[in-house]
Amino acid sequence: MIKRKRGYLTPVVISVVCWLTFIWLRTFTYMANYNEGTGVYRFLLAAIITMIGTFFYWSLFKPEESAGLISFLFGDEFEECLKETTVGTTKKWSILRKSMFFVGCLSFLSLLAFVFEIWTDIMVFTDAAYIEIGVVDINKKYMFDLILLIIFPLWTQTIFRGIREEGYSIKGILSGAVQLLMLSLISYLLFMKLPNIWLIELAAIEIIIVATGIKKYVWKECSEKKGNVFALIGVYVFFWCALLAAFYRPGMTFSQFSYGGDWEAYQDSVKQIIAGAAAFGTSSELVSNRVVVDFLADRNNYLLVGLYYGGWVSGVAIIAALLLFLITTYRLLGVHAVFNRNYLVYKASWWMLAMRIIWGIPYSMGIIAMPITLPFAGKIGLYMDTIAFGLLIWSVFEARHIDKNFYKNRKIFDMFEKTEVKIEDQGIEDFFELYEVVKVCSGDVALLCSAEEDEQHNALVLEPLETDDACVFIVERVADAEMWHDVEDEAIRSAILRNYTKNNRPDCMEVIE
């Protein structure tokens, strides 16, 4: 019999519980340590609205169908627009060429703005933490995560698709590499006035996105030239190191570069909390410590607050919850995550949350001078981390469709314990899909299946409808009889299954062939 799988329910439930726990801790920290008061539902409501908004806007995003920006940039609309202008040529523009046009324009504008701000008094957008458009001031910190989570990965995967479309030619690879460097330069110029830790995070996640893109789109194609790929990744890492080095001053230590403030004072306060925390509950030693009390005031670190108010039991429980969240959110990416069309977006979302944990815990304990807030703890982080988590939850819906496409090639005997079955037409035809619903019977056992004919091999592919396990039966009619049996030839079975899988591929799936 076919076994049923539990799927993604457990990781979704655990990660949602962790998410609510972190928001609870964030609210508690605010209520206990901040001078400014807050309602009990304030952060919870904000997070739920952000989550719903993420689902809504992400569900609207369909690159091929929507009339949005991406469609305009890389779809036919842009080409039609070009034909109407003098720039247009009769030759069709490839994805890579369109992308190069836009990246080139954007990087030219960014560099121009940068040059203006260096040599003139004109403020454009690179030289401040805010972008001023008329009377409206937009904080760049609100744009940071959206660019890092959505725009950069989407554009990167478009570039890699373009390289694939060009058949991995030298010209295509060079164009793609230059575009990636220019995209990174634009993001650097946009956020260069933010504290250095933001740039370090930007560099780390962009390097990860590019490396993930290479692994997905290029790795299989360069079995003999892997050294060249490593060299290209090395150049990209070096490029980021060079950009970061622009903010390094001689004699600067790593903590001065990444933390900015007095790292030793921070470490000293954290050491006092760790040393003075009770095993359970609030320690009287910490309560009487004026340095610690001042240190925790208006600080949104729920791990340290947990140690202060709840003792080591709370601290360990919070670390365990953070690690559990890290593992379960990774599971949300799906078993066949690499086949997702927007794999880079989901991977970037996971890495962003992962960095908050991987760097956030040691920073909270005063071990690494990387001031990154814990997940959902920051003022902006609450919204941005919720967007990242929302995208991961969304990826589960897509992962279920993708997993279904990996059909198991089953034999009739596995299910019915007989070699021949009878197929009855149920007379239900789904107008939206190209299959018919049939009832497969053998003795007392009956199974509802969708049936699709493979005309080339004169066979029928049956997919059970009422089971969670994705499998198919490939059958052919017994000569001069109403019965059906398995196709015996394994090569033909594989070819039929390959065709069936290709025809039934969901929109969210992308196979690199």
Task: Please tell me the distance from the alpha carbon of residue 317 to that of residue 13, in angstroms, as a whole number.
Answer: 18
Query: What are the percentages of helix, strand and coil residues in the chain, rounded to 5?
Result: 60, 10, 30
Q: Which stretch binds other proteins (CB under 8 A): 162-170, 240-248, 269-277, 279-287?
A: 279-287
Number of residues that bind other proteins (CB under 8 A): 16
CB closer to other proteins out of 24 and 102: 24
Minimum CB separation of residue 44 from other proteins in Å reads 7
- Identify the bridge partners of residue 442 per DSSP, sorted by sequence position: 445
Minimum CB separation of residue 164 from other proteins in Å reads 40
Out of 24, 101, 168, 330, the residue judged to bind other proteins by CB under 8 A: 24
DSSP per-residue string spanning 231-293: HHHHHHHHHHHHHHHTT--TT--HHHHHT-S-HHHHHHHHHHHHHH--SSS--HHHHT-HHHH
CB closer to other proteins out of 31 and 235: 31
Q: Which stretch binds other proteins (CB under 8 A): 76-84, 120-128, 231-239, 284-292?
A: 284-292
Whole-Å CA distances, 468 to 12, 14, 465? 18, 21, 8
Minimum CB separation of residue 287 from other proteins in Å reads 5
Decide: is 471 part of the binding site for other proteins (CB under 8 A).
no
DSSP 5: P
Asked if 153 and 345 touch (Cβ cutoff 8 Å), the reply is: yes
Q: Which stretch binds other proteins (CB under 8 A): 23-31, 178-186, 203-211, 454-462?
A: 23-31
Decide: is 291 part of the binding site for other proteins (CB under 8 A).
no
Decide: is 31 part of the binding site for other proteins (CB under 8 A).
yes
Decide: is 231 part of the binding site for other proteins (CB under 8 A).
no
Out of 66, 284, 419, 503, the residue judged to bind other proteins by CB under 8 A: 284
Decide: is 290 part of the binding site for other proteins (CB under 8 A).
yes
Minimum CB separation of residue 365 from other proteins in Å reads 23
Asked if 424 and 487 touch (Cβ cutoff 8 Å), the reply is: no
Which two three-digit tokens encode residue 323?
């690690």
Asked if 149 and 348 touch (Cβ cutoff 8 Å), the reply is: yes
Query: Cβ neighbours of residue 450 under 8 Å, at least 6 residues apart?
Result: 430, 433, 435, 436, 437, 438, 462, 463, 465
Q: Which stretch binds other proteins (CB under 8 A): 27-35, 71-79, 125-133, 498-506?
A: 27-35
- Pick the closest to residue 207 from 257, 259, 251, 243 (CA basis): 243
Decide: is 129 part of the binding site for other proteins (CB under 8 A).
no
Q: Which of residues 39-58 bind other proteins (CB under 8 A)?
A: 40-41, 44
Out of 155, 259, 309, 359, the residue judged to bind other proteins by CB under 8 A: 309
Length of the chain: 513
Backbone angles phi and psi of 369, in degrees to 5:
-85, 55
Decide: is 287 part of the binding site for other proteins (CB under 8 A).
yes
Minimum CB separation of residue 301 from other proteins in Å reads 16
Instruction: List residues near other proteins by CB under 8 A.
Output: 9, 24, 27-28, 31-32, 40-41, 44, 282, 284, 287-288, 290, 293, 309
